[in-house]
Amino acid sequence: MTPPKGTPNGPGTRKPGLHGRAVRVLSQVVEQGRSLNQCLPPQLIDLTPAERGRLQDWCFGTCRWWYRLNHELDSRLERPLRRSDMPVKYLLLLGLYQLRYSKTPPHAVLNECVEGCRDLGFKPLTGLVNGVLRKAQREGEPEPTDPAVIHSHPAWIADKLKGNWAEQWIAVMAANNQHPPFTLRVNLRQGSREGYLQELTDAGLEAESCQFAPAGIRLRKAVPVEQLPGFADGAVSVQDEAAQLCVGLLELAPGQRVLDACAAPGGKTAAILEAEPALERLTAVDSDADRLERVRENLHRLVLDAEVVCADAAAAAEWADPEGYDRILLDAPCSATGVIRRHPDIKLLRRETDIAPLATLQLSLLKALWPFLKPGGRLVYATCSVFPQENSRIVSRFLNATADAQLVPLAVDWGLDTGYGRQLLPQAEGADGFFYACLNKAPGQLIADH
């Protein structure tokens, strides 16, 4: 059967409209559980730079404000749309996003959404789309009272934030809706941070030093990496300030063997090698072969060398160096609730039922890697989660079960002391949400049996 004229698969038609593409992306996120990073790029291929910018803004913005937009839409529909009409719901949410959060003139929003409805093959519902959006434009947005709706978070995330961070939960949700800062890590093997700041100034780019990361720079405005001085030659990399802090905690020294577990896409791997060029060896491990290619690409651009291994960190006995490692960085898989501002689809993709299995995995990774840490060595445990169930409680459980593990108090001026590490909460103009804990292995003669 030939698709309706104007649909993305229609033969001999113009290229699919932006609204149709956005609806396709949103449907894949909501119905298939795919991330924006997975389903957005294929829709960008044949677009102009301006069109790509609009589509990205629409998809990220609609996900960012999904729960608030959905609250308004529910109040405007006389009855819920049928399951077969879900594309029209996504189109209406997009239209509300444009009305509330974009600079597109309202009349253009209405015209484009009605045309998009027709292109999607839902001509009988064009009147509904026009009526709902016209009324929304005329009446303005109804003011919600529930903080979860105001800040557009699923109720379970809002409840967990409130329960764990009673003083900060509102600020965290507000920060999650901000556009993330564009943060760089200067390659101090090639030059100083002050020198690179001057290069940025000379290039007409406003920037400032990060507060806590010694190689960190925050740009006033995001730019394509091609516009960054020396990027292609390895002078600088894009990495949030929070992620850069692992280097100082590792206390690197010449001659060490270092393991970066769960290493992809390689930002921390590169940061370690830049900070200590005289390591005996750095091994970067990840179970995702495709993401490991990103590690290799980063190392190639920065002219750095590491042993890159595709393996399961939880099965360390199958691949780890039996002589052990002086330092291990475990950036464990987690709920990623500290980086929602960078990945707003997390609000839609993550489920409360995900947390317990993640905690089980995190503890199993610690237990699998610990035997390969040399006596007197250090393991840094990190996540980009803001939930203690994945952070302090994991460290506490591990310490209670591991006689030769010692918690290292962190004498740093960032984050909140949880008793088992430091928790950074997302800040509107600062670092992402991140947790760090340092564990030293008691001195001894041999690596633990494995």
**The two three-digit tokens of residue 235, written as one number:** 């002078």
Burial 239-249 (b: 16+ CB within 10 A, else e): bbbbbbbbbbb
Q: What is the dihedral of CA 18, 19, 21, 22, to 10 degrees?
A: 120
In the three-class reduction of DSSP (H, G, I as helix; E, B as strand; rest coil), residue 376 is classed as strand
The annotation status of 376 as a binding-site residue, yes or no, is no
Q: How far apart, in Å, are the Cα atoms of 255 and each of 247, 369, 392?
A: 16, 20, 31
Query: Of 117, 210, 246, 384, which is the active-site residue?
Result: 384
Is 6 a known ligand-binding residue? no
Would you call 14 helix, strand, or coil by DSSP?
Answer: coil
Query: What order do you get walking across the sheet with 182-186 strand by strand?
Result: 207-209, 216-219, 182-186, 236-238
CB hemisphere CA count around 9 (13 angstroms) = 5
Q: What is the DSSP letter of 446?
A: S
Is 262 annotated as belonging to a binding site?
yes
263 annotated as a binding-site residue: yes
Q: Cβ contacts of residue 322 below 8 Å, gap of 6+?
A: 372, 447
Annotated binding-site residue? 106: no
Angle between helical axes of 289-302 and 267-275 (0-180°, round to 10): 30
Active site residue 246: no
* Residue 74 is assigned to a ligand binding site: no
For residue 53, say whether it is annotated as part of any ligand binding site: no
Q: 265 among the known binding-site residues?
A: yes
N-to-C CA span, the chain: 61
Q: What does the DSSP 8-state code read for residue 437?
A: E
Which residues are annotated binding-site positions for S-adenosyl-L-methionine? 262-268, 286, 312, 331
Residues that are catalytic = 384
Binding-site residue set: 262-268, 286, 312, 331
